[in-house]
């Protein structure tokens, strides 16, 4: 399992603790967050943290077919239209995710931004590489951002993109 932009590692740590038979990798580019995540990773055997740009890790470091599940929680929505090209989820990113995922692997996306949620669904449908569904919360810990947004009364949107193999 790979947490893309793991922040302080609290969600990843809870997930790794909940599922000790699986291995977990968190990617994060901000040093102060990486240090916090590493302190958590030191307490558990199945969690590692890598300081790296998320899109670079997905495109160039993760071997094809090596990831069972990606977790993308509250990606920056870059709300201004002129900044939309900075959003992480696009066709190229989803192609890289598809390549890194194992057969039947999943990209799990959680956001508080309805417009970005709709755009992610649209791009995923256009790619043709994923079966699109929604997922519940029962199997996953609550992230720091999710807790904060829930307390503010904000809606949370969940999406599960399951890898489908091309028919030959």
76 noted as active-site residue: yes
Catalytic: which of 3, 8, 45, 76? Answer: 76
What residues contact 27, with CB distance under 8 A and at least 6 apart? Answer: 2, 3, 4, 5, 6, 49, 50, 52, 53, 54, 57
Write down the residue that tokens 């199945």 correspond to. Answer: 46
How is residue 9 written in tokens? 């590692």
Quickly list H helices, 1-141: 10-18, 31-41, 54-56, 91-100, 114-127
Nearest Cα to 134, choosing from 103, 107, 105? 107
CB hemisphere CA count around 131 (13 angstroms): 10
Cα first-last separation, the chain: 28
Q: Which tokens is 72 given?
A: 């993308």
Active site residues: 76
């Amino acid at each position: 399992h790979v947490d893309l932009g793991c922040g302080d590692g609290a969600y990843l740590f809870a997930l790794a603790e909940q599922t000790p038979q699986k291995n977990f990798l968190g990617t994060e580019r901000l040093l102060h967050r990486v240090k916090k995540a590493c302190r958590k990773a030191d307490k558990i055997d199945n969690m590692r943290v890598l300081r790296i740009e998320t899109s670079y890790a997905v495109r160039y470091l993760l071997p094809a077919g090596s990831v069972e599940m990606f977790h993308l929680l509250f990606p920056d929505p870059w709300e201004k239209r002129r900044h939309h090209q900075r959003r992480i989820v696009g066709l190229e990113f989803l192609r890289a995710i598809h390549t890194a995922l194992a057969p039947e692997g999943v990209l799990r996306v959680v956001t508080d931004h309805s417009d970005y949620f709709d755009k992610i669904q649209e791009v995923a449908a256009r790619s043709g590489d994923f079966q699109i569904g929604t997922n519940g919360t029962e199997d996953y810990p609550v992230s720091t951002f999710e807790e904060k947004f829930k307390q503010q009364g904000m809606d949370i949107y969940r999406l599960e993109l399951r890898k489908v193999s091309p028919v030959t």
